[in-house]
Structure 1
Amino acid sequence: MTWFQPRSLLFWVYCLAVVIGPLLFVLQAAGQVWFAGAPALAALPITALTLLIIGRILFALDPFRARRHLVAPMVMGAIWGATVWTGLAMWANDHLSRTITNLFGDRFAISWSAAITAPIDEEYIKAIGIAVVAVMFRARLTRPMHGLLLGAAVGLGAQIAEDCHYSTQTALTSPQDPVVDVLLVAVLRLVTALTSHWAMSALAGVGIVMLLIRTDRSWGWRIGVFGLFYALAFTMHFLFDAPRPPGPALLSTYLPILIDLVIFALAYAWVLQTERRWFRELIARPVARSVGSEAGLAPLLTYHRRRKARSALRHSTGWSRQQAGRYERSLLDRVTDLDLVASQQTPIPGGFGPGSGAVPGGVHVPNPW
C-alpha cells in the first residue's frame, strides 16, 4: 500500500485539508510573517535542531524498528500537523479565547485561556489527523507502537510549525533586539520540547489506533482505552499551558514538565511491554527458526542484553562498533519481517545474517546471535 490512494475518498479529503490549512494560516497571519521579516529566520537552525533531537528520541523509543513500515503514514501525519493543524488551531484558539473572555472576564482569560483552549481544540485537530491517516493505512497498524509513532509524527509536525510561528511573533513584539529574543525563545522551545506536541499526540495516537484495530475486543473496552490515552494527552497539554504555581522559580517552571514526563513514561512503559510481548511471541514461532533459535534471538528483547550481545560479537569477530550495530539491525529487521511474511505468505527476505549479506567477510557468528 503506497501513500497515493486515488480510489479512496478519504485520501482526497486529506489532500483538500492540507491545502486549505496553509491558506487559512496565510489569511490569519500573512501580515505577521511579512512584518517579522529576517529576524524571525534566526531561529531556523535551532528549530531544525529541535526536529533532529525529537526525531532521534522517537527512533530510540522504537526498539524493534516498527517505523520501517510506517514511513508513508508518518510523513503524511507530519504534513497534517504542519499544515492543517497550523491553520485550524490558530482560528480555533482565537474564537475559544474570545468565548472564555466573554464568559469569565479578562483576568481569568489571561491566566487560564491557553490551558483551556489548547487541550480542547489543538489536541482535537491533531487527533482528527491521526484518525484520518490511521484509517487510510489501517492494514499497516497492528500494535500500540504503531499508534505512538503515527501520533508523534502528527504532533512533531505541529510542534515545528508552532515553533516557526512563535519566532515570527517574537520578532514582531521584541522591543529592542529581535534577533536575540527570537533565539532565546527558540532555545526555550527546544528545552521544553521533550513534553510538547509530539509526546501528547503520541499518547492520543495509541488510543486511536487501539480503538481502530482491536476488533477482537468489545466496543466498550476499545472506547475506554481510547478515552484513557486521549485523557492523558489532554492532561499533559493542560499542565503544559496552565499557570505556574507559586514557589521557587525553577521548580514552578519545570514541575508541570516533570509531571508530563512521568505521565508519558508510564504510558510508554505499557506500550514497550506490549512490544516485547509481541517480539517474544514472534521469536517463539516455528518460522523464526529460519533466522535463529529462540534463545539466540532473545538478546534482542532489551537494550541491556543487546549491548552485551554486541560486545560479545565484537570480541569474537574483531568487528567495529558500526559493523556490530549493522549486524544487529539487519538481524532485527529479518526477525520482525517474519510477522509480515506470516500474514502475506511471501518469501523471507535475503541478504541478512551470516554470509555475504550483513556479515563482513563471511565471519561465523556464534551465540548469543
Structure 2
Amino acid sequence: MTAPQPTAVGVAPVVRGPIGVDGFWQPRRFAFWMLIFLLANGAFSVISMFYQGSRVVPTATILGIVVWAAYTAIPLLFFHSLDLFQQHPPLGYVLAFAWGGLGALYLAIPANGAINSIVAKTTGSQDWAPAIAGPTTEELLKYLGVILLVLIARTQFRTILSVVAIGAVVGLGFQVIEDLDYTVNTAISIGSPNEVVPVLLTLAFRGIVSGLWSHALLTSISAFGLGWFLVHKHKPLAQRLAVAAGAYALAWLGHFFWNSPLLRTGNPYLDALTHGLPMLLVGYLIWRLAGREEAGYLTGLADTYVDQELITADERKALASLRYRRHLHKEAKKTYGRKAARRYRTLQRRQLHLVLQYGQHGPGGRTGQAALEVQLARADFAAKTGVPDLASARTTAAASV
C-alpha cells in the first residue's frame, strides 16, 4: 500500500474512509416503498394517458415512442463516455429515470393544471402561468425524487458528482416522457392525417433546439446543492443549507426564465438560444465544480489504497482529469490502433471502478475482485501491444531513438 501523495496544489487529499455501501434494493426502508408506490401509480397514469392518445393518433404515438427512445440513447451514451455510470449500480439509474418519467411527471400534470388555472384567474392572462407552474411543481418533484433515492441508498452518494449524475438521469426521464406527451398532444391538436410531421416538429424543437438546456441540466443543477450538503458535513449547517437552497433556486430561476415571456422575440428558435445558453453556462460551471471535487476524492483514494502496479503515476493523473483520460485513450489509438485503444479504455474504466470500490468497501472482498479485473485488463492490453502501460511505451520509444 502506498502512502498518500500531495495533490496538485500541494495539500494531502482528504480521504473519507470506507463505510460500506447501501444498494438501491432496500425493502426494509420506508423511502423505498414510497418510491415504488409512486412509481406504480405513475406507470398506470402515464401508460393510460398514452393508450388514450394511441387510439386517436396511433401512428404518431408509436413513432413518437421509437423516436424518443432513440433520442434517450444519445445522452446515455454521453453519460457513459464521461464514466458517470461508474458512480452507481444500474438499478439506481433505472429508478432515477423511472421517477423522472413516471413518478414526477404524473404528479406534475394535475399540479401544473391547478396552478395554471389559479394564475389565469388571478392575473386574467395565461402569459405567466407556465413560468410559475412549471418550475414550482416540476423542479420540486424531480428534486424530491433525488432525495428519495438518497434516503434509499444513503452511502451510495459519497461525492457531489454522484448526486449530480443521478439528478441528471431523473431530469432526463422527465424530459423524454414529457416530450413524448407533447408529441402525442401536438398530433391530436393539429388533426392532420399526416401523423409523422408532428413527431418531427416536436423532435426538432424540444429535442434538438432546446434539449441541451432542458430538465436533465436543470435537475443536475439543483442536485449539486444536495450533493454539497451531503458531502461537506464538516461545514456549518447554515452554510450547507444555503448552498443547497441556492442551487435549487438557480434551477428554479432557470426554468422560470425559460418559460417566461421575458425577452421573447417571437422567433422560437432564437428565443430558445437566448433563454437556454445562460442555463447551459451555469450547468457547465456546476458540472466543472463537481468534477474538480470528484478528482480530488479519486486521487486521494488511489494514493491511499492502490498500489502503483494497479494504477501507475500517469494513470493516477488521468483519474483526476477526464481530458487526460481521453488524451491517453487517443494516444493508445494512435500508437497501437483501435482495438488496443478499446482495451486501454476498458483498463481505465476498471481502474476507476477499483478506486470507487475502495471508497465504498475498503480492502478485501469486492475490492479484491475489482483489483483482479484491473490486472486482467492490463494483461489484455499488454498482450495486444507488448507494453503494460503507455508510460512504458514512451520510455521504450525514447530509448530506441
The structural deviation recorded for 1:96 is: 0.2
- Counterpart of 1:49 in structure 2: which amino acid? A
1:97-108 correspondence runs (5 A): 97-105=116-124, 107=125
The structural deviation recorded for 1:246 is: 4.5
Name the SS for the 2:311 alignment partner.
Answer: coil
Unaligned regions of 5+ residues in structure 2, if any?
A: 1-21, 393-401
Unaligned regions of 5+ residues in structure 1, if any?
A: none
Q: Does 1:225 align with 2:243?
A: yes
1:321–1:28 Cα change, 3 Å: closer
Residue of structure 1 aligned with 2:176, choices 142, 160, 164: 160
The CA RMSD over aligned residues, in Å, is 2.8
Deviates more, 1:233-242 or 1:207-216: 207-216
1:77-156 correspondence runs (5 A): 77-105=96-124, 107=125, 109=126, 111-156=127-172
Q: Does 1:359 align with 2:381?
A: yes
Residue of structure 2 aligned with 1:12, choices 14, 21, 33: 33
The structural deviation recorded for 1:283 is: 3.0
Name the SS for the 2:375 alignment partner.
Answer: coil
Residue of structure 2 in register with 1:172 after alignment: 188
Deviates more, 1:316-325 or 1:80-89: 316-325
1:16–1:296 Cα change, 3 Å: closer
1:265-304 correspondence runs (5 A): 265-285=284-304, 287-289=306-308, 291-304=310-323
Deviations 1:54-111 (A, max 9, x none): 2123334x44x45353422221111111111121111000000010011100x3x2x2
The structural deviation recorded for 1:236 is: 2.0
1:33–1:210 Cα change, 3 Å: farther
Query: Please, what TM-score do these two structures have when normalized by structure 2?
Result: 0.81
Query: Please, what TM-score do these two structures have when normalized by structure 1?
Result: 0.87
Deviations 1:173-203 (A, max 9, x none): 1143332122211222211111111111112
Q: Does 1:255 align with 2:277?
A: no
1:167-206 correspondence runs (5 A): 167-176=183-192, 177-191=194-208, 192-206=210-224
1:140–1:26 Cα change, 3 Å: closer
Name the SS for the 1:149 alignment partner.
Answer: helix
Deviates more, 1:11-20 or 1:347-356: 347-356
Higher relative contact order (CA closer than 8 Å, sequence separation 6+) = 2
Residue of structure 2 in register with 1:241 after alignment: 259
The structural deviation recorded for 1:24 is: 4.4
Deviations 1:129-150 (A, max 9, x none): 1111111011111100011111
The structural deviation recorded for 1:310 is: 3.4
Contact in 1 for aligned 2:100/2:170 (Cα 8 Å): yes
Q: CA separation in 1, counterparts of 2:365 and 2:340?
A: 36
- Counterpart of 1:352 in structure 2: which amino acid? V
Contact in 2 for aligned 1:291/1:334 (Cα 8 Å): no
- Counterpart of 1:6 in structure 2: which amino acid? P
Q: CA separation in 2, counterparts of 1:268 and 1:4?
A: 28
Contact in 2 for aligned 1:355/1:361 (Cα 8 Å): no
Q: CA separation in 2, counterparts of 1:41 and 1:161?
A: 13
Q: Identity percentage over the alignment? A: 20
1:267–1:304 Cα change, 3 Å: closer
Deviates more, 1:274-283 or 1:37-46: 37-46
Contact in 1 for aligned 2:54/2:62 (Cα 8 Å): no
1:8–1:48 Cα change, 3 Å: same
Residue of structure 1 in register with 2:56 after alignment: 35
Q: Does 1:368 align with 2:388?
A: no
Q: CA separation in 1, counterparts of 2:55 and 2:121?
A: 31
1:338-349 correspondence runs (5 A): 338-342=358-362, 347-348=367-368, 349=370
Name the SS for the 2:374 alignment partner.
Answer: coil
Q: CA separation in 2, counterparts of 1:356 and 1:202?
A: 34
Corresponding pairs, count: 364
